[in-house]
Amino acid sequence: MRFVDEFRDADTARALATRIAALCEPGRRYAFMEVCGGHTHTIYKHGLEDHLPESIRLVHGPGCPVCVLPMGRVDDAVAIAEQPDVIMTAFGDMMRVPGGRGSFFDAKAAGADIRMVYSPLDALKIARNTPDKHVVFMAIGFETTAPSTAMTVLRAAREGIENFSVFCNHVTIIPAIKAILDSPDLRLDGFLGPGHVSTVIGCRPYEFIARRHGQPLVVAGFEPLDILQAVHQLMRQRREGRCEVENQYSRVVPWQGNRRALEVIGEVMELRPWFEWRGLGFISQSAMQVRDAYAAFDAERRFAVPGVRVADPKACQCGEVLKGVLEPWECKVFGTACTPETPIGTCMVSSEGACAAYYNFGRFSRSRVRAGSAGPTPLADPVVLR
C-alpha cells in the first residue's frame, strides 16, 4: 500500500538508527520531547525507543487534548448535561474521562442524555432533528479540531438553528510549550513538533523556541520513519551547533499553515485570559472561547456552570507525566488501580495518552522497555515494518 509501506521499511529504519548513533557525542545524553500524543503511540507501538542509542531519551509532552483537561471542566460539562431538555454530545474518548463527580458514562447511567458523536456536524444534525431539545457539543482539542467546531457554529448561525451550542474547551499548543520551556523540572535538547496541529498553524509559530530558548524543533509525521528521520534532524542540528525549526512533515504541513482554517477560528473564537491545564496549572491566553458575536452558540453563557476547581486524585500523577517529569510506569497506580478499563487519570483514557500507550504496548518498567522482555514487536519484525 503506497504512503504506508514506504514509511515502515525496516532497512531504511536500521540505516537511520545507525546514522543517529553516529551523531551522538561520547558521554553526552540527549532528551527530546515529542509534544504530540500521536507520536508517543507510534514510538511504543513500533518499538522505536529500543532502536535508539541509550544516550537518547524521548520525553512525553502535553499534546493530548483530553489529558490536559482539568477535572473541573468535566464537572461543568456534566452539570450542563443534567439540565432539563439538554442533549450533551461528545467524542468517544471523552466518555470515560474522570471528573470530580464521575465521567460522562456515570452521568449517562444516572439519567443524563449524553451521546457519542464523530464530529460537531453530527451534533448539529441531532439539534436539527430534535428541535424540542437543546444540543450541546463538548468541543475539545488543539488547533487541529477547532476549525471544525468553528465551521459548525457558522453553519448553525446560517441555518438559524437556535437549539445548538458548544461547550468550548479548545486549547492552543504554543503557550503549553512555553510553559514547558519555563519549567525548572525538565531539561530538554529539542522538540518533535506536533504534526496534526502544524497542519493548521504551520511552522512559523515555533520559531521563538529556537530564537529565544536555543532549542531545535522538527515538525514530524506519525509513521515510524517520520519519527526516526525527525530525531536524526534534531541530532544533526545539535552536532552542527544549529537551533532551527525544520519541517520533516512537509508532505502534509505547509510552512505558513492553513490560512482558511485560521481565518475561521479567528472569526468564531478568541483567546481566553486564562485557562487551567491538568499538570501545568493556569496558563494565560492558552485556550479559546466563543466570541460575543456568536454568544447564542456558547453553552457557557446559556447555562450556569459551577466553574469550581477540582483537585486531581492524590494517587494519580498525570500532571507529572504530562510535563515529562515522570514516565507512566513510575506512577504508583499505573497498571494496577489505574487501567484503561478503570482509569483514575486522563492519560490512561485517551487514545493519545502516554499511560494508555505504555499500558497497551506492554511498557510496565524501564527494564522491560530496554531489555525487550515485554512491549511491542521489534522494529525488524516484518509484521510491524516491511
pLDDT for 241 equals: 95
For the chain, the C-alpha Rg in angstroms (whole number) is 21
Beta carbons within 8 Å of 250's beta carbon, 6+ residues apart: none
pLDDT for 364 equals: 65
Residue-wise burial string across 256-272, b where 16 or more C-beta atoms lie within 10 A, e elsewhere? ebbeebbebbeebbeeb
pLDDT for 325 equals: 79
pLDDT for 244 equals: 97
Cβ pair 328, 321 in contact under 8 A = yes
pLDDT for 213 equals: 94
Cβ pair 188, 31 in contact under 8 A = yes
Distance between start and end Cα atoms, the chain: 11
Q: What does the pLDDT profile of the chain (386 residues) look like in tens digits?
A: 466 777 888 889 999 999 999 999 999 999 999 999 889 889 988 888 888 999 999 988 888 888 889 999 999 999 999 999 999 999 998 998 888 889 999 999 999 999 999 999 999 999 999 999 999 999 999 999 999 999 999 999 999 999 999 999 999 999 999 988 987 777 899 999 999 999 999 999 999 999 999 999 999 999 999 999 999 999 999 999 999 999 999 999 999 999 999 999 999 999 999 999 987 889 999 999 999 999 999 999 999 898 888 887 788 888 788 877 788 888 888 888 888 888 888 888 877 788 888 888 776 655 444 444 333 333 434 334 54
pLDDT for 77 equals: 96
Name the nearest CA neighbour of 66 among 36, 31, 89: 36
Instruction: Tell me which fold the domain 71-173+257-302 belongs to.
Output: Rossmann fold (3.40.50)
CATH class of 5-66+174-196+207-247: alpha beta
pLDDT for 368 equals: 44
Residue-wise burial string across 31-67, b where 16 or more C-beta atoms lie within 10 A, e elsewhere? ebbbbbbbbbbbbbbbbbbbbbeeebbbbbbbbbbbb
| Spans of all domains in the chain | 5-66+174-196+207-247, 71-173+257-302, 318-371
| Residue 105 CB neighbours (<10 A) | 14
Domains 5-66+174-196+207-247 and 71-173+257-302 are alike in CATH topology: yes
Show the DSSP H helices in the chain as ranges.
10-22, 37-45, 71-81, 104-109, 120-129, 146-159, 173-182, 195-201, 207-213, 224-240, 259-268, 299-302, 318-322, 354-360, 366-371
Cβ pair 255, 202 in contact under 8 A = yes
Name the nearest CA neighbour of 278 among 252, 250, 313: 313
